[in-house]
Amino acid sequence: MTNTCATTNNACADGPRTAVLLINTGSPDAPEAAAVRRYLAEFLSDERVIELPKWKWWPILHGIILRVRPAKSAERYRGVWLPEGSPLIVHTRRTAERLGEELGEGVRVAWAMRYGNPSVESVVRELVADGVERLLVMPLFAQYAAQTSAACLDKVFETLGALRSVPSLRTIRDYHLDPDYLDALAANIRQFWREKGSPVDAGGRLLMSFHGIPARSIALGDEYERQCHETAAALAARLELPEGAWSVSFQSRFGREEWLQPYTLPLVRELAREGLARIDVVCPGFAADCLETIEEIGDELRRAYAAGNPAGVFNYIPALNASDEAVRAYAAIIRRELSGWL
């Protein structure tokens, strides 16, 4: 995939001198083993993602993981692939396009993937070549973690460090308690409940599942766990959920190392065995639906719950994606961060 200007309101050349760059994690170029192998090789080679010495990690990565995992992961990607491509890329591109319309003629909105295409380097170089003088970088991760937000910013800094002329730079570190972000999450959930009813009324619970990270990351100084719990508590307050009607968990564990707990899958299995009548799962840390939400939560977790409680009701509440609520929230955050530039 090649990068577009990711804007609907300006031509690439002779456009605005102020730009916003949205960055998400990334996705393979195709749901095929070779493409997945390239993607995983880049993703899992980042020392921000895997904090192990190369002498210890690289034999595992190149000797085992990149030989075994691509074919299995490609099959999973095929199950969620959209006609336009990877869900993560499709939703991120649509978000950027809609934000370009919302922010108007004075701001160019671009998008990139930290791993895979369009790459951060290619998009940043294009923006600079087109004359952008002021750049706001927004990693699409509300809760800060070294493995996500910092990894995105690393690549931006690395790219700019190789250029002769660089733009003025601002970055958005996190927005986990931003009122517009929280309002968007709450509105998204309320809309779902208007159609399906509230799990609280059915004797159920709202589970807020965040992407997990190794537990030792917290000891090393990451604020991620605290920020996830703060987001969850603030969202529960906006939804006026009583105590016991909501929980927090962490998903997508990789490897044998201890990660943040409780783990989503074992928790849901336990709740199903206990006879919880209904569980609605939302993933507040995911800006766009992707393999980890569609397949891991919407499919795998649904089956696990049904196995333990066949009579129960399981719902996955979609991510914000390119919804009206998301666009309004991101636009409000961006306008504040662009203060003095426009």
Tell me the pLDDT tens digit for each residue of 193-226: 999 999 999 999 999 999 999 999 999 999 999 9
Domain containing residue 288: CATH number: 3.40.50.1400
One domain, residues 118 and 194? no
Q: Does residue 5 lie in a domain region?
A: no
> CA–CA separation, 320 vs 181, rounded Å?
10
Q: Does residue 64 lie in a domain region?
A: yes
One domain, residues 56 and 170? yes
Q: How far apart are the first and last CA of the chain?
A: 32
Task: Please write the tens of the pLDDT for every residue from 32-51.
Answer: 999 999 999 999 999 999 99
The pLDDT score that the predictor gives to residue 83 is 97
One domain, residues 142 and 189? no
One domain, residues 304 and 257? yes
One domain, residues 170 and 186? no
Q: Does residue 328 lie in a domain region?
A: no
- The helix or strand, by DSSP H or E, that contains position 168, with its residue range, turns out to be strand 168-171
- In this prediction, what percent of the chain has a pLDDT beyond 90? 94
> CA–CA separation, 106 vs 16, rounded Å?
6
This prediction has a pTM of: 0.94
One domain, residues 55 and 162? yes
One domain, residues 155 and 228? no
Q: Cβ-count burial of 242 within 10 angstroms (0-12 exposed, 13-18 middle, 19+ buried)?
A: exposed
Last residue of a domain, one of 151, 174, 197: 174
One domain, residues 168 and 185? no
One domain, residues 132 and 200? no
Count: domains in the chain? 2
- Other CB atoms within 10 Å distance of the CB of residue 55: 7
Q: In the structure, what pLDDT confidence band is assigned to residue 135 with cuts at 50, 70 and 90?
A: very high
The mean predicted confidence, pLDDT, of the chain is: 95
One domain, residues 198 and 153? no
Q: Which residue range is the domain that position 265 belongs to?
A: 179-317
One domain, residues 161 and 54? yes
Q: Does residue 206 lie in a domain region?
A: yes
